[in-house]
Structure 1
Amino acid sequence: MLTFDEAIATVQAGTDLTAPQTGALIDTMLRGDAPEAKVGELLLELRAKGEAVSELVGAATAMRAHMTRIEHHHEILLDTCGTGGSGSGTFNISTAVAILASACGVAVAKHGNRKATSLSGSADVLECLGVPIESEPDAVARSLDVHGICFCFAAKLHPAMRHVVSVRRSLGVPTLFNLLGPLCNPAGATHQLLGTASPITQTKIAAALTQLQTRRSFVLHAEDGQDEVSLDGVTRCLEVTSDGQKTHEWTASTFGLLPAHRESLAASNPAASAEIIRDVFSGKLGPQRDTVIAGCAAALWLVDRVSDLQAGCRLAADAIDEGAAKEKLAKLAKA
C-alpha cells in the first residue's frame, strides 16, 4: 500500500492512482486511521488533477465494504440518486421520480443525503413530506419489502463516513467523496437513473459503473446544465450495461411532451420543493408535472417496465391521475 505522502506525490506528478491503491487509502480513512491533514491534502490533489475512473472504482469498492447493507428480495431495484453539483436550483426532481416509479410498480431504494451543493437534498425534502429519514436498517428493509420503496439515508447507512466529515467540511469544496454516493447504494440497486453535473463527470461515472458491474444504468446530463432528464433542449444519456455503452439523445418531443424551461422548475428551499411534489402528485398540470413524468418514463424504460419512453409517460401520468403516486408517498411516510 502507498503511504499518504507517496500517494500525494504520485497525484501531484499527474499520475492516476490504481483502483487497489485508492481503495486501500479510502479504507484507511474510513477506519479512522488516517491523519486529517494528509486526507485533506490528498483529496485536494485528486481534485486538482481530476479524479480518474480507477480512483472512483477503488474508492467506491472500499466505501461499499464499510456501508450498512439493506437486505431485500427484489430481483430488480432502481435508484435515482445523482452526483449533485449542477447548481440548477430546481425542486427535487429525482426524488419525485423515485416515488412515481414505485407507484408504477418498480421497486425503489432511493439513496440520498441532506443538501450539500443544492438548495434542497433528498433527505431534506422527504423530511418536509413527512417521511422518516433516520429509520434503522431493519425498518428501511421492511419498507422496501412491504411497500416497494425505501429511503437510504447516506448519513445513517454510511457510518464510517464520520471519520472524514470534519476534513470535508474544512475543505469547503467538492471532493472525490461527492461523486461516490450514486456508486454506493446500501441496497445494491441493480438499475440506476443517475444524473451528473457535467459531461466530464458523466463520462467518468459511466465508465466506473461499467467496472462496478451495474446491470443497466442511464447516466444523464442535459445541455441546459440539469442533472436530470430535461425538457429544455437535449438530454444526453449514456446507457451502461455489462456489454458496454450506448448513447441516446432525448428532447421534449422524444417524450411527446412540451418543452419546459429550467426556470419553471425552481424551488428555493426544501419546503417549496415539497409543495411542488405534493401539487404534482395531486394532479396539477404544467412543466413540473411533465418533467417528473419524463424522468419516470426514462426509469420505466430502464427497468424494461415499458417498451418505449412515450409508453412510460402514459403509465406515469396514469399513476398520478389515478392517485397511486399520492398513495405511495403516504405509505412511505408511514414506513
Structure 2
Amino acid sequence: MSSFSITPLLKLLAQYQDSEQKVVTQDIVSEVTAAFAGILGQGAVEEGQRAALLTALTFSGLYYKSQIVNAVVKVMRDAAVAVPIDFHDKDFATKRRLLKRNNYHGGFVDIVGTGGDGHNTFNVSTTSALLASPYLLIAKHGNRAATSVSGSSDMISALAGGSFILNIPPEAVGKILTDHSNLAFLFAPTYHTSLGGLAPLRKELGFSTIFNVVGPLANPIEGIEARILGVKNRELGKVFSEVLQLMGCQKGMVVCGDVGKGLDEISPCGKTFCWRLVAAPPGSPPGTLATINEFELHPVEDFGVALHPLEECKSRSPQENADIVKAILRNEVPAGDPIMDYCLINSAALLVVAGVTDEWKEAVELIKQGLREQASLKEWEGYLKGCNIYKRDDAETINVTPVANGAPATVDGANGTH
C-alpha cells in the first residue's frame, strides 16, 4: 500500500494555531478528511505524521470542532464493516410498518454515552435500549468497559451467559431483526476493525485524541431515524448536536446531566441539559438541516419520577448489573427503585425523541406497560435465540486493550461504559 504525506495539512494546522481568529477553513476540513481516509485504510500515513496530526488536533482544540468531528466520523463510517440490511425485504418492511406509531416511522434508534465522566454509573443506556425495544427498532452500538466497572458489552455478555453474543456476523443482523427481535447489538470492534492498529500509538501519546470523541457518532448501521447521545461535559453538548445536524440527522438529542463536570445520561438526581434536533417542517427544501433547541429536563417535573442520589445508581460488576437487568425485565423490581427510575427516564426519552409520543410522562407509562406485559423480556429472549442460531462458533471475541484516558483501543465511547 503506497504512503502519502500529510505535511500540507500539518502546515495548515500550524497556521491555525498561530492565527488569532481560529477559523476552520474548508481547506482544513478537506485535508483532515483525506488524512484520516489514509490512516483508516485507503492509504498509509507514516507513524510520525499520524502522531503529529493527533497531537495538533488535540492541542489546537480542533478535535472539539463540529466540522472536524463530522469529517472524521464520515471517514470512520465509510471505513466500517457494512451491516447488510435489506430494507426492501417483505418481512422486514412489514416489521417496520407494524412499529410505526405517531411520528415514529419504524427506523433504527440508538442510545449511547461517551463515557469518561468519572461517575461509574449503571449500564443505563444499554438497559434503556432493552426497555424501549417493544416500541422501537434498536441498533445499539457498544463496547467493553474503558473507565467503568461494567461496559455495555460486558453487561450484555453477562446477561446472555457468554461472550458468544458478541460474535454475531454482520450478515446475520438483518435475519435476527426480521425473524426474532427488534434488537441488534453492534459490538464496535467487529465493525471498526481499522482502528485496532492505532492502539499502540494512542497509548504512547497518553492524552485524549479525536478518537475519544467520535465513537458514539460512528454507529455503522444505515438508516438511523433517531438517537440520544450522552456527553461527559456541556462543551461537548453543542459540538455533538452540531455534528448530528451536519450529518443530516432530523431526530436526535444530546444530553448532559448537571452532576459534577457532567453526566453522560439524563440525570436521576436533578436537571439535565439538552440539545434536541427538531426536524425541518414539511415542504422545506431538500437538504434543510434540523434546528437545535436547548432546554432542561427534570425527573420530577418532566417525567413524574422521584429524585435519587447518583450514589444509589452506581455500576457493579457485569454479572451483578446483569442480574438487576434480568429482574427489571421480569418486572420484579419495585416501583421507586433508584436504578429502575434511572432507566425509566432515559428509555422514556428515547421514545419521545423517536416520535412514539410527544409527552415525557406518557413515555414513562409506555415503558412501564412494556415491563408489565414482559414485552421487553420477549424482545431480549428473541434476540438471544437469534444470536444462538447465527453465532460464529469458530471465532474468538475481539479483545479490547485499554489505552490512554480510558479509551478503548478500537472505538472510544461507543457506549464503552453504559
TM-score w.r.t. the length of structure 1 is 0.93
Residues 126 and 274 in structure 1, CA contact (< 8 A), matched pair in contact too: yes
1:145-176: CA deviations, max 9, x gaps? 33121011110011222232222233343321
Instruction: Provide the C-alpha distance between the structure 2 equivalents of 1:276 and 1:7, rounded to a whole number of angstroms.
Output: 51
Tell me if 1:149 matches 2:183: yes
Gaps spanning 5+ residues in structure 2: where?
88-95, 97-105, 279-288, 388-418
In the TM superposition, residue 7 of structure 1 has moved relative to its aligned partner by 5.1
2:251 to 204, 209, 216: 216
Letter in 2 for 1:61: K
Q: Which moved more, 1:207-216 or 1:116-125?
A: 116-125
TM-score w.r.t. the length of structure 2 is 0.75
Residue in 1 that maps onto 2:356: 305
Q: 1:331 to 1:11 in 2, by over 3 A?
A: farther
SS at match of 2:133: helix
Residue in 2 that maps onto 1:94: 125
Instruction: Provide the C-alpha distance between the structure 2 equivalents of 1:161 and 1:179, rounded to a whole number of angstroms.
Output: 14
Residues 237 and 255 in structure 2, CA contact (< 8 A), matched pair in contact too: yes
1:126 to 132, 156, 177: 156
Tell me if 1:109 matches 2:139: yes
Letter in 2 for 1:258: A
1:219-238 equivalent positions in 2, closer than 5 A: 219-224=254-259, 225-238=262-275
In the TM superposition, residue 319 of structure 1 has moved relative to its aligned partner by 1.1
Q: 1:275 to 1:61 in 2, by over 3 A?
A: same
Q: CA RMSD in A?
A: 2.0
Identity of aligned residues (%): 26
Gaps spanning 5+ residues in structure 1: where?
none
2:233 to 198, 209, 218: 198
Q: Which moved more, 1:6-15 or 1:38-47?
A: 6-15
In the TM superposition, residue 77 of structure 1 has moved relative to its aligned partner by 1.1
In the TM superposition, residue 125 of structure 1 has moved relative to its aligned partner by 1.1
SS at match of 1:259: coil
1:12-31 equivalent positions in 2, closer than 5 A: 12-13=17-18, 15=22, 16=24, 18-31=28-41
Q: 1:275 to 1:168 in 2, by over 3 A?
A: farther
Residues 79 and 110 in structure 1, CA contact (< 8 A), matched pair in contact too: yes
SS at match of 1:78: strand
* Higher RCO (CA 8 Å, separation ≥ 6 residues): 2
Tell me if 1:173 matches 2:207: yes
Residue in 2 that maps onto 1:163: 197
Residue in 2 that maps onto 1:136: 169
Letter in 1 for 2:195: M
Q: Which moved more, 1:1-10 or 1:36-45?
A: 1-10
Instruction: Provide the C-alpha distance between the structure 1 equivalents of 2:237 and 2:125, rounded to a whole number of angstroms.
Output: 16
Q: 1:10 to 1:116 in 2, by over 3 A?
A: farther
Residue in 1 that maps onto 2:307: 259
Residues 131 and 376 in structure 2, CA contact (< 8 A), matched pair in contact too: yes
Instruction: Provide the C-alpha distance between the structure 2 equivalents of 1:282 and 1:326, rounded to a whole number of angstroms.
Output: 7
Letter in 2 for 1:41: A
Letter in 2 for 1:125: M
In the TM superposition, residue 43 of structure 1 has moved relative to its aligned partner by 1.6
Q: 1:119 to 1:40 in 2, by over 3 A?
A: farther
In the TM superposition, residue 193 of structure 1 has moved relative to its aligned partner by 0.9
Residues 47 and 176 in structure 1, CA contact (< 8 A), matched pair in contact too: yes
Q: 1:245 to 1:127 in 2, by over 3 A?
A: same
Residues 216 and 302 in structure 1, CA contact (< 8 A), matched pair in contact too: yes
Tell me if 1:280 matches 2:311: no
1:40 to 45, 51, 56: 51
Residues 21 and 58 in structure 1, CA contact (< 8 A), matched pair in contact too: no
Tell me if 1:248 matches 2:295: yes
Off by >3 Å, runs of 4+ in structure 1: 10-18
Q: 1:71 to 1:145 in 2, by over 3 A?
A: farther
